[in-house]
Chains A and B, each alone.
Chain A
Amino acid sequence: GENVEQHPSTLSVQEGDSAVIKCTYSDSASNYFPWYKQELGKRPQLIIDIRSNVGEKKDQRIAVTLNKTAKHFSLHITETQPEDSAVYFCAPLRRQGGSEKLVFGKGTKLTVNP
């Protein structure tokens, strides 16, 4: 099955600093790479995603980079703010015949200190 690992498991930064979270996956058939953010007590929500034919995607302060050869993709947050504090999950998706399996990493708890 798909093995998904996230690093680090916890990350603490000062407001204004950058944060980087890395996700490593094992299945070379994975072809869609999203990141989800889960604030305390809320449901996970998509914040950014990338497809396998693209190396980088940016949306304001967040970006995702993909290295398909090495089988990892990373979430980059610049100019962090206290509201960025949350748990972030990667979820590489693999299409398998008529079904799709969305497997999440264990999550990274990001704390942004004012």
Chain B
Amino acid sequence: DVKVTQSSRYLVKRTGEKVFLECVQDMDHENMFWYRQDPGLGLRLIYFSYDVKMKEKGDIPEGYSVSREKKERFSLILESASTNQTSMYLCASRHRVLGTEAFFGQGTRLTVV
């Protein structure tokens, strides 16, 4: 069974704090993704990575950064959390081979107060 695990299910942080969201997958997937999900806006791509230490911006990278030091782990960093970053964050991973499924983590509900 493929497992994509996010470090926290619920998180409450204060404005201005530095926040780390961790994602770990156990299937040796090359590609990993971070999305945020908001009502009516679907899943919006923040950053993705196709290999260790490689990263590319998605559609809404502002206010976020990422780190991929090991193949199995992809971290999303909110440098200085703001209330408009309150959202559900979903991590996903997939093999690079065309036509393979993306597997999602359970999501992290982040509230910034």
Contact = CB atoms under 8 A, between A and B. Distances in A.
Interface of A: 1, 6, 9, 31-32, 34, 36, 43-46, 49, 51, 89, 91, 93, 95, 98-107
Interface of A is mostly: strand
Interface in B42-58: 42-45, 48, 50-51, 54, 56, 58
A99 B105 contact: no
Q: Determine which residue in B50, B58, B105 has the highest number of CB atoms from chain A within 10 A of its CB, and name it.
A: B50
A64 B96 CA distance: 22
B99 A102 contact: no
A44 B104 contact: yes
Given A101-B45, A103-B45, A104-B43, A46 B50 contact: no
Contacts of B48: 99-102
Contact of A102 (B45, B105, B107): B45
22 contacts: A1-B59, A31-B98, A34-B102, A43-B90, A43-B105, A44-B90, A46-B102, A51-B98, A51-B99, A95-B98, A99-B50, A99-B54, A100-B48, A100-B50, A101-B48, A103-B58, A104-B42, A104-B44, A106-B41, A106-B42, A107-B42, A107-B43
A102 B103 CA distance: 12
A100 B94 CA distance: 10
Contacts of A104: 35, 42-45
Contacts of B99: 32, 49, 51
A46 B101 contact: yes
The 3 residue pairs across chains A and B that have the minimum distance between CB atoms: A106-B42, A43-B104, A104-B43
A102 B101 contact: no
Contacts of A34: 101-102
B25 interface: no
B36 to A, nearest CB: 11
A101 B58 contact: yes
A100 B35 contact: no
Given A51-B98, A102-B31, 4 more contacts: A49-B99, A99-B48, A104-B43, A106-B42
Nearest to B106: A43
